Amino acid sequence: MMKYRQLGHTGLNLSVLGMGGAGFGNVYGNHLEEEATKAVHHSLRRGVNYFDTAYWYGQGKSEQFLGRALENVSRDKFYIGTKVGRYERDVANMFDFSAKKVIESAKDSLDRLQMNYVDILQVHDVEFAPSIDILVNETLPALEEVRRSGLCHFIGITGYSLSTLQDVILRSKVKIDSVLTYCRLTLNDSTLLKSLEFFHDMGVPIINASPLSMGLLSPRGIQSWHPASQEIKQACKYAVAYCRKQDVDITKLALKYSSTTCEQVVTTLVSMNDIAMVDENIGAVAQPLTSKEEEVQEYIYKTYFEQLKQPHWEGIEEKNYWSALRAES
C-alpha cells in the first residue's frame, strides 16, 4: 500500500514514490508513448500522485507528454511540479534566470501541460545562475508574481549543489516551499544526510530525485553524458556486476535506500516508462528487503562505496559549463 507524507506547510500529501519526468523527455533513451501513458494511469491507480517535469527534459517533450497523458484525469487526483531556468541544449541558451523569462516560461509550460496551474513551480538547477543575487532579487520575486497570479501554488528550488541550495534559502526574501535535490541520497552518495538539520530548521521539506544516481546504479549502463568521476563510475559498475552475480536487483536496493532512509524526505522521484516498471518500483518501496538483499547491500556499500574518496561530483558540471560558455564568447 502506498504511503504519503505532507510537504511541509503546503498541505500537499505526496506519495512517497513520485514519477520523475526525465524519462518522458528521452533523457535515458527513447520510450513508447502508448506504454508510457499506460504507466502513468497505472501509477495513479497504484497510489502515485506526484509528477515532476521540466522543459529541459526533451525541450518540452516531457511536459507535452504529461499534458496528453493526464488530460482526462481529474485535477484533484494528482499534484504536478515543473521548472523554470534551464532550457536549451546549446550552451549559450541553456540557462536564463531573468524575471521576464521566468514568467514567459511558466505560461509556456502550462500551455504544454494543458493545465491552468501547477502545484509547485521550481527554479531549475540554481547553481548555474550567474550569481545568487540574480536568484534572490529577480528569479524568485518573479516566481512569487507567478504564484500570486494563480499559475502556481507553491515555489521550490532544485539543484545538485547542496551548499548553493542552502545559500539561496538563507538569502531568499520569498518563501521557499520545497527543495528538490538529486543523486545525494543514494547507495553511493548519502551526503544529503549532512544537510537534513539545516533544511529542517529552515522549514523546507525535501523532494529527493534520482535514487539510481542518474543510471549509475542500474544494469542498463551509464549514459555518456554522466558527470561522475571514473572512480565513482567504476565503483558503481563493480556493485552492479556483484548484484547481478548474486541475482539481486540493485535498482530495488537503491530505491529502497533512497525512499526509506529518513522521514524528512517527502517523496522520491523515479522515471517509470511502462507498467512493469511501475509495479517493480512500488514493490521495491513497499516490500522489506530479504536477508540476502540486506547482506548484498551491506557488502557493496562496504566494498565499493565506503572507500570512495569523494562520492559526489559537485562543481564539475558548473566548471564545464562556464568554460564552454567562455569558449563561445
Q: Domain tally for the chain?
A: 1
pLDDT in tens, 59-102: 999 999 999 999 999 999 999 999 999 999 999 999 999 999 99
Q: Are 113 and 63 in contact (CB under 8 A)?
A: yes
Q: If phi over 0 gives left and psi between -120 and 50 gives alpha, with beta otherwise, what is residue 326?
A: alpha
Residue 29 has pLDDT above 60, yes or no: no
Q: Is residue 149 part of a domain?
A: yes
| Domain boundaries, position 198 | 4-222+250-289
Given the residues 55, 57, 160, 257, the one annotated as active site: 57
Helix (H) or strand (E) holding 80: strand 79-84
CB atoms under 10 Å from CB of 30, counted, come to 8
Residue 223 has pLDDT above 60, yes or no: yes
Q: Is residue 240 part of a domain?
A: no
Whether residue 57 lies in the annotated active site: yes
Q: Is residue 151 part of a domain?
A: yes
Tell me which residue of 96, 28, 82, 87 sits closest to 54, measured CA to CA.
Answer: 82
Q: Is residue 234 part of a domain?
A: no
pTM for the whole structure? 0.96
CATH number at residue 55: 3.20.20.100
